[in-house]
Amino acid sequence: MKNAIKAIENYIFGKDGNRPDLLRYAFSPDATLNMEVQTSAILFPPHVQGRKDIADVLVRDFSLHYENVYTFCFGAPPKPETSDHKCKWLVGMTTKTTGELRVGCGAYHWVFSPKSGLATQLSITIKTMQECPPQYRREVMDWLQGRNYPWCTSVEMLDSAPSLACLQPILVYVADDPLPM
C-alpha cells in the first residue's frame, strides 16, 4: 500500500522504539539519508546510503546511547499518496549512561517513490539539541508523553511546555512559522 503517513510513522516508531525492522516499511532498499547537523551536541554522518545503513545509524547505533525517545512531527500528516513532505520535528530523550535529558528540533524533508510509497530520500536538519539536567526528567517526560504522538500541532506542544530555560531555544524554533529548507 502506498502511504506516506505510514512510511513516516514506521520510521518514527522504529527509531523511537528501537525496532529497526520497521524501517523496511519506511524506506526503499536503496534510500538515501542526508543529515545537516547545526549543533555540536549530537553527531551523525552527513550522508548514508541504503536502508540497512540507515537502520544502523538511526536505530541500532542511536539506541545504544538513548532511551525514552519521543519524536513529534508538526502540522498535518501528508496525503497518503504524496511524493514529498516537509515538516518540523521535535525529539525528547534521555541518555542511557547519565539519565540526562536531550531535547532537539529541526526539519524533515521526505521524498517518496510513486510506486511503492516508501521513502527514497530523507533529509534531516538538526537545528539544535539542548541538554537539560536530569532533575527535569519527570517534568519533560510528562510533557512529551501527554502529547499526540507522533503527529502534533506546534500550538499543542508550545501551550503545554514546561517553563525551563533549557527548552527555550527549542520552543522559539517550534513557534517560528516558516519551515526552513
The predicted pLDDT at position 179 comes to: 58
May I ask the CATH class of domain 4-175?
alpha beta
pLDDT of residue 79: 87
Sequence ranges of the domains in the chain: 4-175
Which SS3 state, helix, strand or coil, does residue 45 take?
coil
pTM over 0.85: yes
- Please tell me whether the peptide bond between 78 and the residue prior to it is cis, using omega within 30 degrees of 0: no
Exposed/middle/buried for 49, CB within 10 Å: 0-12, 13-18, 19+?
exposed
Q: What is the mean pLDDT of the chain?
A: 93
